[in-house]
Amino acid sequence: MNDTTPAPQVWPTLRARDARALIAFLVEAFGFEETAVYGEGDHVDHAQLSWPHGGGIMLGSVRDTPDDKWSLTPGSFGAYAVTDDPDALFAWATAAGARVVQEPYDTDYGSREFVVRDREDNLWSFGTYRGEPRRAALETSSHSAAGGSE
């Protein structure tokens, strides 16, 4: 059996007033890949946009119903995504209409980053910072280096 399902990950989610237009913008401006979109007409029940470096986001149309169990206000989302070339992505994103919050800059922790807003006013930060090693990986590494065995 050839299973191509991604490994478990965290998938941030958001709602949009015009989900189909936001999907097109996120693909064009940031390079997300449209993996799945379910819904009829202008309404999007569920969409998955994959980030080329791993993970992605899920989104759907805002639902103005009292029984909505996943009530999120459009424009209240913020995310950070890793990219190897933030300067090129900044140029690409702003050319596609992303609104600049902070132009590319270098952080004191060694990352190159920028911040923009999408067409629904959500905040997006992109940079080279990949995070710190997980504790379990550090413990396994130091355990192995010390000659420990299970």
C-alpha dihedral sign at 143, 53, 61, 76: positive
Torsion of CA 73, 39, 69, 48, to 10 degrees: -70
Q: How many whole angstroms separate alpha carbon 139 and alpha carbon 132? A: 13
pTM, two decimal places: 0.83
Q: How many whole angstroms separate alpha carbon 19 and alpha carbon 54? A: 22
Tens digit of pLDDT for each residue in 2-56?
Answer: 577 767 678 899 999 999 999 999 999 999 999 999 999 999 999 999 999 889 9
Average pLDDT of span 60-86: 90
Q: How many whole angstroms separate alpha carbon 28 and alpha carbon 22? A: 10
Q: How many whole angstroms separate alpha carbon 146 and alpha carbon 141? A: 9
pLDDT at 5: 72
